[in-house]
Each structure stands twice: as structure tokens, then as C-alpha cells.
Structure 1
Amino acid sequence: MALALVLVLIVLGSVLFHVLSPWWSTPIASNWSYIDNTLSITFWITGAVFAAVVLFMAYCIYRFRHKEGAQAAYEPESRKLEGWLTVVTALGVAALLAPGLFVWSHFITVPKDATEVEVVAQQWQWNFRLPGAGGKLGTSNASLISADNPLGVNPEDPNSKGNLIILGEDLHLPVGKPVKMVLRSIDVLHDFYVPEFRARMDLVPGMVTYFWFTPTRTGTFEVLCAKLCGVGHAFMRGVVKVDTEQDYQAWLQQQQTFAQMTAGQKTGALEPPPGSAGEVATKAN
């Protein structure tokens, strides 16, 4: 009897903890409300199954508790019970999988008007490359990575010249416009994760992965690495700032192109972009 009561209290406590919990997802800042809805559906289904199973256990403990002279009936199998369990389990699994498959189909279908932004991860820093005035990212290759070309951009590709290079600085994006994040790693496994965007993806050495999202509100959001990538993993953080179109265009004008970077390296007169952390450090020195 006491054990049955404990099981009932566990169910009640779990439900109350979920309803009254102060720990919820950060306010969403992208179009991926689908992700939140899918998580809610998963919680409801798994929560209902958990409550049903535990309450059924409590009922069985109480209903079939020990009584003098009572003897259990031995039934090695029950086709009816097995049939019901199979059907109910199949429906439950389908209910869990269907929303995820629906969201995944949207997750991998990038809008045609999405702007490509390359994210290049390394221990322990986030680097970015934007199309610039040309509107296209140039090709890149890990074999081209060097001290003068840290992102491995192909200098022979005409589209590379106008690409904007952001090394270890904040990434800015315009609000309300879809963005395709093209992901590369130049050393180990990383994961680009901004909790408010709800979208994330691994950066796998030797592969190019991607995801897309549309920022829905302006603000400053922290980038986290969601994979254990080494001793500096906890410090591998960055910033994504979602701007109004006017502020975004002003920021673009301050960034350095790949052509300017390589020209500066050849002449030894490379200057950091105005307003950047590199410029502040240079002036301080």
C-alpha cells in the first residue's frame, strides 16, 4: 500500500514540477517555432505514457496485494494483450516521429532567397565569411589554409575577391531575412548553437554542413559550441547581432574583403576594419 502511494506521489510531483518549473527555453528569436511545438508534443506524449505506466503499476500493487489464501492465476501469454500493446506502441511511436519528420523536411529546405554565410570553426574561435557586394561565396579548400589565408579561401575564384572576412569578431545579420549557415571545421568536431535561434548543426572536419533560419527580432545573442572540442571548449563563444537593415548595411561597409586582406598581407600594411576589436587594440598599442 505504501509503495502504491509513493508511485502516485511521484507522478503528481513530476507533473507539478513541469508546470511550475522556472526553467524554460530562452525567448525564441527565429522562425523555428516548429522546434518548440515539436518539443511540447514530445513532452505531452512521453509525460502521458509515464503517468499511465506508473499509475498502472500503483494500481497493480494495490489491487493484487498479498492476501491470505489468494493465489495468482498463471497466464504465460495473451494474444489480446499483445495485440493491444503492439497497436498502442506503434501509434505512440508514430505520434513522436511524425512531427519531427515534418520539421526536418522544412529544416533542410533552404529558401531560394537565403543569403549564404560561412561559419569556420577552429579551436577555440568562430570565424565568418559573407558574400559581400558580389552576392556569392567563393570556393574554399582546407589545403589552402595558411597563416595568410586562415579560412582556406580560393584566391583564384573571382567570387572570393569581394567576400567579407570576419576573424574572431561578432557576426551581424539583418532581421527578417533568411540565412543559410554553411559550416566548416578546420580541426575537430564543433557545433554551432545559438539557443534563441533553436537551430544548430555539427561542423565536421572534411565535410560541409548547413542549416538555415530567419532572425525575427533584433538583439545580441551568444554563440555556443555544443560539442566537447578540447580543453578550451567552455571558452569557445561568440556573438551574433541581429540588426535593422540600416545598421546591418553600415556594419558591412566597415568589414574587410578577402582581396583587401591578401593585398595588405603582401604589402605588410594590413589594417583591421574600422571599429573592430583589432583596430582598438592597434590604437591602444
Structure 2
Amino acid sequence: MAVAFALLLVAIASVLFHLFSPWWWTPLASNWQYIDDTITLTFWITGAVFTAIVTFMAYCVFRFRHKNGTRAAYEPENKKLEWWLTIGTAIGVAAMLAPGLVVWHQFVTVPAGATEVEVVGQQWMWSYRLPGKDGRLGTSDARDVSSDNPLGLNPNDPNGKDDVVIQGDDLHLLVGKPVKVLLRSIDVLHDFYVPEFRAKMDMIPGSVTYFWFTPTRTGTFEVLCAELCGAAHSQMRSKVVVDDEKDYRAWLDKQRTFAELSGQRNVAKAAYKTDTGK
């Protein structure tokens, strides 16, 4: 009796903790309400199954408890019960997978007119690249990575000369404008994640992954690395600032292009050689 009562308390307490828990998602700041809805549906299905199973266990413990003089009935199989369990399980799994597949299709289908933004992860910092006035990002190659070219941009690609390079600083985005986020890692696995945007994706060395989202409200949001990437993983932080049109243009005008940064580095190197005589 006590065990059955304890099982019921576990089921009830688990449901109440989920419904009234102070730990929940951060307020949404993107178009991905679909992701929240899909997770909520999964919670309802798994919660209902969990409650049903624990309640059934409590019933069995109480109904078939030991009684002097009573012997258990042996039933090696029950085809009717097996069919019900098989069909019910298939329906539950399909109900969880189908919405996820629909949302995944939306997640990887980038709308026309989305702005491309490149995110580069490396131990242990974030860097960003935005297209210049030509609206196109230049190519890059890991073989071009050096102290003078930390993002590995192709110096011979004319499309990359006017690319805006932001290294170790905040990324600004325009509110209400769809963004295709191109993800690239220079060293190990990383994962670019802003909780308020919901969207995230692993960054795999040697390949470019992507996702898209639309910022729906202005504000400053923290960037986290959601993939264990080394000793300073927890310190790999940055910020994404979502601006209105005026503030975004003001910020963008202050940024440096790849050509400008390369010119500054060349001047610095020439000055160093002159001063040192090397």
C-alpha cells in the first residue's frame, strides 16, 4: 500500500513541478515559436505516457499485492495486449516525430531575401563577417588562416574585399530582417546558440552549416557555445544586439572591411620592420 501511494505521489509531483517550475524558456525573440510548440507537444505526450505508466504500476502493486493463500496466475503472452501496446506506441512516436519533421523543413528552408551572416568559432572566441556593399560574402579557406588573416578569407577574391569583419566583438542584426547564419569552425567542434532565438547548429571543422531566423524584437542577447570545446568552453561568450534601422546603420558605418583591416596590418608590419631594421 505504501509503495503504491509513493508511486502516485511521484507522478503527481512530477506533473506539478513541470507546470509550476520557475525554470522555463527565456522569452522568445525570433520567429521560431514553432520550436517551442513542438517541444510543448512532446512534453504533453511524454508526460501523459509517464503518468499512465506510473499510475498503472501503482495499481498493479496494490491490486496484486501478496495475500496469504493466493497464487499468481501465469500468462506467458497476451496478443491482444501486445497489439494495443504496439499501436499505441506507434501513434505516440509518430505524434512526436511528425511535427519535428515539419519544423525541420522550415528550419532549413531559407526565405528569399535573407541576409547572410557568417559566424566563425575558434577557441575561445566568436568572430563574425557580414557582406559589404556588393551584398556577397567572399570565399574562405582554412589554408589561408594566419595571424594576419585569422578568419582565413581569400585575399584574391574581389567579393571579400568589402566584407565587414568583426573579431572578438558584438554582432548587430536588424530587427524584422531574415538572417541566414553560416557557421564555420577553425579548430574544433563549436555550437552557436542564442537561447532567445531558439535556433542553433553545430559548427564542424572543414564544412559550413547553416540555419536561419528572423529577430522579432530589439535588445541584447548573450551568445553561448553549446558544444564542449575545451578548457575555456564556459568563457566562450559574445553578444548579439538587435537594432532598429537607424541604430543598425550607425553601427555598421563604424565597422572595418577586410581590405581596410589588411591595409592596417600591412602598415603595422612595415612600421615594425622599419623600427627594428628587420
TM-score by length of 2: 0.95
- Matching of residues 114-193 of structure 1 within 5 Å: 114-193=114-193
Amino acid across the alignment from 1:229: C
Q: 1:160 to 1:235 in 2, by over 3 A?
A: same
Alpha-carbon distance between aligned partners in 1 of 2:64 and 2:12, rounded to the nearest angstrom: 22
Alignment size in residue pairs: 270
Q: Give the counterpart letter for 1:78 in structure 2.
A: N
Q: Give, in whole Å, the separation in 2 of the partners of 1:267 and 1:20.
A: 61
The equivalent residue for 2:276 is none
**Residue number in structure 2 paired with 1:244:** 244
Q: d(CA) in 2 for partners of 1:70 and 1:177?
A: 72
Q: What secondary structure sits across from 1:159 in the alignment?
A: helix
- Tell me, in whole angstroms, the C-alpha distance in 1 between the residues paired with 2:132 and 2:179: 14
Distance in 2 (alpha carbons) for counterparts of 1:54 and 1:221 = 40
1: CA distance between counterparts of 2:267 and 2:58?
79
**Unaligned runs of at least 5 residues, structure 2:** 271-278
Q: Write the distance in 2 (CA, Å) between the matches of 1:192 and 1:235.
A: 13
SS of residue matched to 1:132: coil
Measured in 1, the distance between the counterparts of 2:218 and 2:137 equals 25
Percent of residue pairs bearing the same amino acid type: 66
Q: Which runs of 4+ in 1 moved over 4 A?
A: none
Query: 1:133 Cα deviation (Å)?
Result: 1.0
**Counterpart residue identity of residue 252, structure 1:** L
Does residue 10 of structure 2 align to residue 15 of structure 1? no
State which drifts further: 154-163 or 210-219: 154-163
SS at match of 2:133: helix
- The residue identity in structure 2 corresponding to 1:41 is L
Secondary structure of 1:110's aligned partner:
coil
- The CA distance in 2 between the partners of 1:243 and 1:109, in whole Å, is 25
Q: Provide the rounded CA distance (Å) in 2 between the counterparts of 1:90 and 1:234.
A: 40
Q: Which residue does the alignment assign to 1:283?
A: none
How far apart, CA to CA, are the structure 1 residues paired with 2:65 and 2:120? 63
Q: Give the superposition deviation at 1:82.
A: 0.8
Kindly report the root-mean-square deviation, in angstroms, between the aligned alpha carbons of the 2 structures.
Answer: 1.1
- Residue 107 of structure 1 is matched in structure 2 by 107
Shift of the alpha carbon at 1:68?
A: 2.0
Corresponding letter in the other structure for 2:263: A
Q: Distance in 2 between matches of 1:259 and 1:205?
A: 25
Aligned to 1:89: 89
Shift in Å, 1:67? 1.6
Shift of 1:18: 1.1
Q: Give distance in 2, aligned partners of 1:63 and 1:234.
A: 51
CA distance in 2, matches of 1:134, 1:228: 36
Q: Identify which range, 12-21 or 166-175, moves more after superposition.
A: 12-21
Unaligned runs of 5+ in 1: 271-285
Letter paired with 1:36: D
Structure-1 residue corresponding to 2:70: 70
Task: Find the aligned partners of 1:22 and 1:146 in 2 and give their Cα distance.
Answer: 47
CA distance in 2 between partners of 1:15 and 1:151 (Å): 48
